[in-house]
Amino acid sequence: MKKRVLALTMAAALTTSLFTGCGAGGTDKDEGAAQANGDKVTLRMSYWNSEDTVSALLDYLKTAVPEVEIEYQFIDNGNYNTIVDTQLSADEGPDIICESPASALKHAKLGYLEKLDDLAGLYSNAGTNVYSYDGSTYALPGISWFEGIYFNKDLFEKNKIELPKTFDEYIGVCKKFKELGIKPLAAGLMSWEPMLKNSMAFVTAEYLSTDEGRNFGSDFREGKVKMNGTWNPYIEKWSETIKEGIYTKDMLGIDHAQALDEFATGTAAMFCSGPWDYEAIMAKNPDLKIDMMPFYGTKPSEGWLIGGPGCGFAVNAKSKHADLAHKVLEAISTVDGQKALWENNKGGSSYLEGAKFDIPEAYQSAASALNAGNVYCPWNEWGDAGDVHKDYGLQFQSYLDGQDLSTTLGNVDAAVEELLSK
């Protein structure tokens, strides 16, 4: 399916091009007249994931809401917030907006989003609470996302390497693969995401999931605690992934697609990602046998996965077709709608009451973590400071390149102070 990819060269030109079309600032064509004539009304939907991650959902919506034509707009994650913020501030933008918990909070405070309390009652609190503000819900949770460590089953079995159950055992597994001349972990560190998620998964297992650390998120978003001075001992331990050459500086020149290819072709034994990459991996190597393990701390446990509610579907308060956008969200908020959304995101779970899915074979080794509810995304708890997770990822690129830990975490704290001051 064709992907609409936005080439980002000049912000002004970009914004102008995105304002055109059938969104909030688009055509003045009368919706009622269009439907009376049998014409479809075009609604724009923006998302930071490519169209193939929602292709089954889009097909379902053609039948469920036949009077609507969805114009899917993929915007790269690195520029998504900037572009959508610019559009909404000008009373423009997509009719249906995929929101992160942090952006939903920000846009709700600014009055950019419609309240969705009527539909929110169909979902569990675990899915809607991160999209709530001042007693109302402003986005509906999509299929939960999670990320763990994909591994090549044949490479593990052929070399008689057992799956790890602790962080130290994981380091040992990586050393064994290195001794065999096999790259232990493929990682595209041109992106700020891989080390962000990997390190935070370790901190979750060691600290955030404990009695000592369970209030860190709520305190952090209020500026009561800092990372520097709190996270240091956990990151120092996690840094064995750098000291042992699992993460290397040359990976800063490798992108996500290259890392995926290394794993799919058997060059690397492991690859950190989630269900969204499964089809791409199998398309490159249909014979590859893969499974997923969770991330571990130093003590034996069920393990942890980085994840939580995925994209939250929100309605632009300035949409000329808000009623139809709401109708689309009604269709998504059915068991059939959730099944269609899950089709391209297999492995995740639904927060809609009554929608249950089996765990696919490719995630069986992570089943214990999933069943235990050990799926957590730290920055979802950070409120107005949530967007700092990108700064964290960028700082960890510098950390890999030689920046000291105190400076790395201190720079994240400074970014949080700036966000909270606004």
Beta-sheet pairing, 136-137 with 132-133: antiparallel
H-state helical runs in 188-332? 193-203, 216-221, 232-238, 240-243, 256-264, 278-284, 322-332
Q: Does pLDDT of 1 surpass 70?
A: no
Note the pTM of the prediction, 2 decimals: 0.74
pLDDT of residue 180: 97
Identify the CA nearest to 48 among candidates 81, 89, 90. 81
Hey, what amino acid is at 208?
L
pLDDT of residue 24: 56
b (16+ CB within 10 A) / e for 243-275: eeebbbeebbebebeebbbbbbeeebbbbbbbb
CA–CA dist 11, 17 (Å, integer): 10
CA–CA dist 281, 289 (Å, integer): 10
Q: Does pLDDT of 257 surpass 90?
A: yes
Q: Does pLDDT of 237 surpass 80?
A: yes
pLDDT of residue 37: 44
Q: Does pLDDT of 10 surpass 90?
A: no
Q: How confident is the model at residue 19 (pLDDT cuts 50, 70, 90)?
A: very low
Q: How confident is the model at residue 88 (pLDDT cuts 50, 70, 90)?
A: very high
Mean pLDDT calculated for residue range 242-264: 98
How big is the CA angle at 283 (ends 282 and 286), to the nearest 5 degrees?
Answer: 55
Evaluate whether 360 touches 199 at the Cβ level (below 8 Å). no
